[in-house]
Amino acid sequence: MLGVLGGMGPMAGAAFALRLAALTPVGRDQEHIPTLLLNDPRIPDRSMARVAGGEDPLPYMRAGIEFLNDSGADLIAIPCNTAHLWYDELAQAANCPVLHIIEAVVADLRRQGLTSGRIGLMGTAATLALGLYQRTLERYGYECILPADDEVESLCMASIRAVKANQREASLEPALDCVQRLRARGAQAVVLGCTELPLAIPHALRSGLGVVVTDSIDALALAVIAFYQEHGGLPGAIKANGQLPQELAAA
């Protein structure tokens, strides 16, 4: 059973479970991946802890991992980018493998044909300031383009806060503006590197943006599916050319 440490935020946790179901190549209910989603939003804010001296979320996240251990999880996914600032501690607390969302995004970039080049990053101020993506992307040979500090606040964080406050309509414009600015500066792909951002920009709009978009929710879901396929737990397969079958890509 897949264990999901969600709640960061709860919309993103639920959207992850939904996209996991939508992207899994199945013919009926019983072929899906059994999943336990702990969608507990009481975990203190990850960004506030790292950039503003807020309460430490680690004890809460660790308690969540222990709950998933006790519930029989054989793989854990954490649909929150900023939480991966504590990845080592969380992986150590787990009794099973914990997927890394940044590695999942790199796999998705490669799946979409980008093995090098300039990648625009969007995410929380903490994720960007602490280099969570930059270290990994540079190790794989990518070059990172970041929004300016004021853009992180007025575009990325504004969009993320709107999603967290259930103001989905208000979340779209700042997120799109940021994608377009990163594209104008030469980004060949833009990473929606906070799990609220895929909720701000609906899938249907993305093909018209003129730039590859990689979505950290979908990337993590595809990493889960790939894991179970490699371990014999799923009948289907993502097509060898890296494309999803047509009917799944539209989901």
Return residues touching its own copies (CB under 8 A).
1, 7-11, 13-15, 17-18, 20-22, 24-45, 67, 71, 161, 164-170, 247-248, 250-251
Q: Are 194 and 156 in contact (CB under 8 A)?
A: yes
User: Residues 6 or more apart from 189 whose CB is under 8 A from it?
Assistant: 109, 112, 114, 117, 119, 120, 211, 212, 213, 214
Q: Which is nearer to its own copies, 190 or 194 (CB)?
A: 194
C-alpha to C-alpha distance for 198 and 14, rounded to whole angstroms? 12
d(CA 192, CA 206): 11
Count CB neighbours of 153 within 10 A: 12
Please identify, using beta-carbon distances, which residue of 94 and 190 lies nearer to its own copies. 94
| Smallest distance from its own copies to CB 12, Å | 9
When the beta carbons of 35 and 188 are compared against its own copies, the nearer one is 35
DSSP H or E run through 229: helix 216-230
Query: Smallest gap, in angstroms, from Cβ of residue 124 to its own copies?
Result: 12
Comparing CB distances to its own copies, the nearer of 41 and 113 is 41
Give the nearest distance from C-beta 74 to its own copies in angstroms.
13
CB of 141 to its own copies, least distance (A): 34
CB nearer its own copies, residue 4 or residue 213: 4
Q: Could you give the 3-state DSSP secondary structure of residue 192?
A: strand
Residue 91 CB, shortest distance to its own copies, in Å, is 22
Residues 193 and 80: beta-carbon distance below 8 Å: no
